[in-house]
Every structure is written in structure tokens, then in C-alpha cells.
Amino acid sequence: MTPPLVGAADIRAAAERIRPAVHRTPLLGGDGFWLKPEHRQRTGSFKARGAFNAVARLTADHVLAQSSGNHGRAVAYAAARHGLRATVVLPDTAPVLKVDAVHALGARVVVVPPALRESTTAELAARTGATVIGSADLDVIAGHGTVGAEIVADLPDVRTVLVPVCNGGLLAGVAAAVKAVSPATRVVGVEPALAGDAAESLRLGTLVRWPVEQTYRTIADGLRAPVLGEPAWRHIRVLVDDIVTVDEDSIVAAQEFLSARFGVLAEPSGAVATAAYLTGQSLGATVAVVSGGNVAATVPAGERVSVEHG
């Protein structure tokens, strides 16, 4: 039997559960364009919402996550708030800023080549018995859905919501929340053209995986996942109106626009939704989710010796 999709009741329950641990971010802007500034969120990205909701529902004492950085940081944060041990698997291309932030929250960090993230996580789970918190798990999706619920509460007339896409947990959650209240509002995913597996999946109607050698070409380090998570995909194929792509120059231009107009320092992954707006890929009153502000450092984690290597 196919598990049910996350619904409005799940998202309302998640909102109550995470209230003590996250910020309710206000919309910024006007005149037809607003930002949902999740770069102001705890841990510097929207990921705190889903991670905290998932960890709060566990009885385990050790949690495990694999991440490009922000999800791992959020799981480490949630684990620390609940007094749990955390292990985070990161790629050796992860920005030092993100690696150090995970360390600072008391998590054990294991660094591996990007192609070994999934297999290393599975091996660690089998060996340690830790509970894996996937970035597109249903409880994570419900937590991320609070982003969408807040958007439609603050701007009931929104016509288009633009959402960055990695594993798809944020897009799935936002779509579930928005469509439950405002079915006519368009929910559009945005990803780099160099990591366009989600756009291809939606176009073909079947889940497509891209090699990491392709997805790791983009500067948007938080959006390099080679495939959508299966639970997220089940939501996206039903609820999402479109997934569009933006090129690398548009991402940089969006970062500059966000800084100049709003004083927002967004990481490349956090700027892709704004890039879609600037390139004319939205209709009517638009909200772009700025998913994170953990701007990449220049030295990748693989060149540092302060982390444990897998």
C-alpha cells in the first residue's frame, strides 16, 4: 500500500511541535514580489524545520544523516536540543563553513567522496543502529510544509511560490501546505540547469537520477543531489505545477540582486528561486523562498584535517 501524502493536519501538528525551536520568518518585499527569508532561520536554512520535527518524533538516542551541509547541520541542531548523539556524513566538497557548523553542534562528522555518501550512511546505520533522518522523509516534509503554510497565511493572494529543489523535501512540503489552502496558487520548483534531475523527472513522469559528476558542476552546493527522494517525488508529481531551471550566471545575478535590493546574503542554493523570478518564470504576485544563507567558504572540507574521513 502506498503511504499517504502529508496533509494539512500533519503540517499543523509539525508547526506546534517545532514552534519552540524555529523562527517564524516574515515575508519581505512588496509590489508583486516577496521573499520568504529562511536564511534567517535557526542554523541558517529552512532545514531546521523538518529536522526538528523528525527528531522530536523519535525514541532513538543516536541519529544519522547524510547531507551537503545544511540538512546535517539541522539534524545536529535538533539532536543537541533533544540530548541525542548525532553522526553526519558530508561530501569532501562541502564548504568549510558548513562542516565547522556541524562540528560546533557536537556531531560526529564523517567526510567521504560525493558518490559514497549514500553507501557510507547505510553502512554506518547497519553498524551503529543509528536512526537515519532522510532529507525527504515524511516527518521532514511535514516540518518543511510550515514554510508554505506561513506564506499563504501572510499573503493569501499569492499567485506563484518559487521553491529551490534538492532532494525535494522543501518543495513537497510547501506544495502540500499551499495546495491545501489555495489550490489555484502555482507552486514551482527551481533548480540549477547543471543539476536538473527534478525538472527532467517531472517532464518524463518518472524518477530520474543524474550522476554526481554532473550535478556537482553547479555552484549551488546545496542542490547537487542526484535524485529526488522517493517520498518527496510522490508529492511533487501530484501537487507541483512545474519545475524550472536557471543557469549559473542567473544564480550569481540573483545573489547580487538580493544583496543590493534587500540586504540579503544568500548562498547560491538560496538564490535560485529569485533567479527564476528575475528570468521571468513566474506569474502574478510571487514569493521566492530564500532557502539558506550559509555562504560557501573557499576551502572544501576535503582539504581540512579537522574532520574524520570515512
Cα(300)–Cα(74) distance, rounded to whole angstroms?
A: 20
Side-chain half-sphere exposure of 151, counting CA atoms within 13 A? 37
Are 88 and 102 in contact by the 8 Å Cβ rule? The answer is: yes
Task: Please list the active-site residues.
Answer: 47, 68
Are 174 and 265 in contact by the 8 Å Cβ rule? The answer is: no
Cα(125)–Cα(303) distance, rounded to whole angstroms?
A: 26
Beta strands in 146-185 (DSSP E): 160-164
Cell numbers describing residue 64: 544519522
Cell numbers describing residue 177: 501546505
Cα(252)–Cα(275) distance, rounded to whole angstroms?
A: 8
Are 192 and 210 in contact by the 8 Å Cβ rule? The answer is: no
Question: Quick one: which H or E segment has residue 53?
Answer: helix 47-56
Q: Report DSSP state, residue 264.
A: -
Cα(75)–Cα(86) distance, rounded to whole angstroms?
A: 7
Residue 128, beta-bridge partner list = none
Provide φ and ψ at 95, rounded to 5°. Answer: -60, 140
